[in-house]
Structure 1
């Protein structure tokens, strides 16, 4: 337990939180959440948040073992992950819809909201990619901070949408898209050089 907390860093927590916040893009998903609420009647913020937390923590712990089964090291996955994050950033900046899944299913709190909208491929890729550079304790803290924020957003969806407006949500997406683009470039450059130096 002491070893787990030994790598605690506010700087890493902030970076992890920002990366996951940008990838999850819960503010950009507000129109989709409202649509889901209209279709299903209601969504449980607590259930959605807990399921998303469980998926992310499980992937943080078991993700590397799963990669080992396929003979893929974490650096290689981080490089591949940086390309996915790069594509996600372009999607946010350019307004493309490369990774958006169809909205369906009666259990909307879990599918598609918790998975794959919140804890989807982009989020899982980011978690493993972050693990190549940051301590697990800081990634866990970043995940928890994001889950708290997700819960608040799910509770106050309509108020946030009316407060930010369509233009405000669009600006938030663009800003975090640019941040995410820069992070993807840094993640790619640091891991690709490590691969070739081995």
Structure 2
């Protein structure tokens, strides 16, 4: 049960990162459109697509659902939403690319597409989370939750090690800091 909870929390955190990017994209759609903004919007859409493709839901959970989904219909709904998002993102990126090339954007063309793109992504994220939460399993067999959690933890450890590998060196640069890390990585306080 703890494995299931851990996985759901990790997935929710990844989805919340995407939701914040979608919220930012929606907020940008009504601003005055000039070439620089078109490039920013294009980059933001690319970032959202990258975040969505690299989520652990897609990497670890979706294969279990695919193996266990013959009659549940969960995959059909997700695939339908994903196809709609793919069509929408191609159209949106082509409009934004054209705006970058021409130096102007017609907000009446791209604003509704941005809204549709954001709505579809939010709908997909909500659906995936609800499917994981309905049965507490989301199509994943009980025995597989532990293996999934183990994969998530291993990836978390790798990400943590990559991110904080040089932390000691960074803290050594600031010798007057009230907190420093010793060689065994325990936090010590000066008195």
Higher RCO by CA contacts (8 Å cutoff, separation 6 or greater)? 1
- TM-score of the pair, normalised by structure 2: 0.27
- Larger-gyration structure (1/2): 2
